[in-house]
Amino acid sequence: MNRSFSPPQSGADVPPFDLHAFVRQVFPYPRSITGDGVRATIRAIAEHVPVTIVEVPSGIPVLDWTVPDEWNIRSATISKLSGEVLVDFRGNTLHVVGYSEPVHRIVSREELAQHVHTLQDQPDVIPYRTGYYARDWGFCLSHNHWMTMNDDAYRVTIDSSRGPGSLTYGELFLPGSTPDEILISVHVCHPSLANDNLSGIAVATALAVREMTRAERRLGVRFLFLPATIGAITWLARNEEQTSQIRAGLVLTCVGDEGAFHYKQSRSGSTIDQAVAHVLGHAGVPFEILPFSPYGYDERQYGSPGFDLPIGCFMRSVHGTFPEYHTSLDNCEFVKAKALDESYRMVAQVLDLLQGNICFRRVDGRGEPQLGRRGLYRAIAGQREGGGSTQSDLLWFLNLADGRHSVLDIAERSRIPFSRIQHAAYRAYEANLVVMEDP
């Protein structure tokens, strides 16, 4: 069936809003796997795109898990008995272990030590710790700060609540002309971590704005903003039937630092792996392709047995390998505006590639077509044509446009950038030399 075919998408260059300003805006929100900090973050996303906010009640079974109780925190301090505040949650949300039980009492330093987390090898930074499924409480301090606290007793206050509520996530689906779709997923549960958490949220939100302005979408695009692990598991449990429509996807995290790009392949091995490698390979940037492993972010949930979705993880520096990871050093200064914008451009190119990765078939595949009478021939072989393609690009495309090779297959076989083969496909299509194959 010969459907309409628009010119290749362009403009994967400037983000639609200031990504670094967005990171700074939402950095202070007290995020966890549930609670008002997550809702505030998703409302900030909703200022840019019409994301749907979904609430799933506590106690609902989701696969082998259960939606947990909701946790919220209002304040937390450690004070001297004289009243001097030494540690204040309002100064940095990392100071309190996530899901800490409420505490209002005086404790000895010896007892407090059982609830204090520091990093002796990084004595000036605050670590990030959580206790989602424990009934406990705790504080995170720099080791040097803790070493100055030598009083016999301290007043400890954590004003938090934990009980029946809901798990919150945001979802935006932009339908395409086919039932198939791309999934972009980011986690929204980490407090005061700019690269690990907020860089992916900022880039995904900007991509959603861009996708909303796309003239035509062949593939639908679904954006998920959810708490790590339990959020992805909850979404999968609630949407199992439609996961068969997901043809490619990315989990975005740690995309705001100045490290080289890293891509962890999907479990299944799929077009998304080929697409990301192609974009990075032709971008002139340092990068590394990593094999799939069942450790990391939500790509391991989407790639779990029974789903095995073609979803990889797109990063700059790899989680756990840089000293700022899960510490107070992962702040707004660590994340760079230029790095965020570059990550946005890379993923935008991947989305363009997936949208344009169509199979074509020659109308008459016998022999090389006569290009001169169609205005496609140039006397100087290899001369760059209008629209960004060359004579060689066109010949490669026409030779492999047999209904079995996609545009990406042809780009990889010819070692020519996807965008140039796509331009050649458009010119051949306009000249009625090829038709699109049904997906």
CB atoms within 10 A of CB 108: 11
**367: Cβ contacts below 8 Å, ≥ 6 apart:** none
> What sign results for the dihedral spanned by CA atoms 375, 376, 381, 385?
positive
Token pair for 294: 């069942």
* Nearest CA among 270, 300, 422, 292 for reference residue 353: 422
Residue 208's region, left for phi above 0, alpha for psi from -120 to 50, else beta, is alpha
- Exposed, middle or buried by CB within 10 Å (0-12, 13-18, 19+), for 247? buried
Q: Annotation-wise, does 196 bind a ligand?
A: yes
CB 155 within 8 A of CB 81: yes
**121: Cβ contacts below 8 Å, ≥ 6 apart:** none
CB 125 within 8 A of CB 327: yes
Q: Annotation-wise, does 326 bind a ligand?
A: yes
Distance CA 181, CA 71 (A): 33
CB atoms within 10 A of CB 292: 18
Distance CA 219, CA 389 (A): 25
CB 126 within 8 A of CB 140: yes
Q: Cα dist. 239→23, 234, 268, 299, 302 in Å? A: 30, 9, 20, 16, 12
For the chain, the residue count is 439
Q: Which helix (H) or strand (E) holds 302?
A: helix 299-302
Q: Annotation-wise, does 145 bind a ligand?
A: no
How crowded is the C-beta side of 210, counted as CA atoms within 13 Å? 23
Distance CA 248, CA 439 (A): 14
* Nearest CA among 288, 284, 336, 310 for reference residue 19: 336
* Amino acid present at 435: V
Residue with tokens 């995309």: 255
Q: Which residues are annotated as a binding site?
A: 190, 196, 326
Which amino acids are annotated as binding site for Zn(2+), given as ranges? 190, 196, 326
